Amino acid sequence: MGDMARMRNIVVLTGAGISAESGIDTFRGGGGLWEQHRVEDVATPEAFARDPELVQRFYDMRRAAVQTKQPNAAHHALARLEAEWRGELLIVTQNVDDLHERAGASGVLHMHGTHLNAWCTGCDARHRWTGTLIEKPPCPECGEASLRPDVVWFGEMPYEMERIYAALRGADLFVSIGTSGAVYPAAGFVQDASQLGARTLELNLERSQGSHWFDESRQGPATQLVPRWVEEMLAG
């Protein structure tokens, strides 16, 4: 990587590609989730207003599915880096699964929310939720039947943006793992980070849409690239 001795603060952005080898579908590309479902039907506030049952059924299935999957070598390697890195490390994920946490990472920012929370639109409470929502269960806080998936839909504001930009401002290295670079604002983090002076590295199965913005791009499966990169960082 070069200049490793001077690197202290790292921001890692992950996307669906890091969970692909755990058996969770990515969104784009052959067999991707957005090939089987139209975004406008299941992942917008308008879709939820129009057909809440369809949307709840879709997320109930996804919530059940992620609980049958296990973290892979890439999630474990990042958790190890978080534990052993001498400087700051922030993991920002676009993923709504909990595989980073189950691999042992603790400070993960879920900018697109999480399958394992239900959010009450009545009282704004969030509850850990492993079951279904289609039967309109009452909110444990206020009793209203107004729970929705705590997932950021298209047209909604991603979570934690202030903390993410603060971390990017202090970053020496920005690493993007398993994301196609198709969805903003996450797709713009590489440009933000490099304008703010960070080195930038992409680890992805193929070159992403924004690949040319990175100082370095490595292609391959996350379960191989990520453990190798973590070894390099901890050895340096």
* Residues assigned a catalytic role: 112
Compute how many other C-beta atoms are within 10 angstroms of the C-beta atom of residue 181. Answer: 22
The site for ligand OAD, by CB under 6 A, has a size of: 24
Residue 179 Cα to chain centre, angstroms: 9
Span of 132-140, 162-170, 174-182, 193-201 interacting with ligand OAD by CB under 6 A: 174-182
Other Cβ atoms less than 10 A from the Cβ of 23: the count is 12
Position closest to ligand OAD via CB? 17
* Cα-only R_g, the chain: 18
Other Cβ atoms within 10 Å of 26 Cβ, number? 20
First to last CA, the chain: 9
> Is 204 among the residues that bind ligand OAD (CB under 6 A)?
yes
Both tokens assigned to 109:
């920012």
Residue 32 or 122 with smaller CB distance to ligand OAD: 32
In single-letter form, the type of residue at position 113 comes to G
- Of the candidates 63, 112, 115, 199, which one interacts with ligand OAD according to CB under 6 A? 112
Query: Alpha-carbon distance 196 to 139, whole Å?
Result: 43
Instruction: Kindly indicate which of the ranges 51-59, 117-125, 132-140, 198-206 contains the residues binding ligand OAD, using the contact rule CB under 6 A.
Output: 198-206
- Only one of the segments 27-35, 45-53, 56-64, 164-172 lies at the binding site for ligand OAD (rule: CB under 6 A); that segment is 27-35
For residue 62, state whether it binds ligand OAD (rule: CB under 6 A).
Answer: no
Q: Under the rule (CB under 6 A), what is the footprint of ligand OAD?
A: 15-17, 20-21, 26-28, 32, 43, 94, 112, 152, 178-180, 182-183, 204-206, 208, 221-222
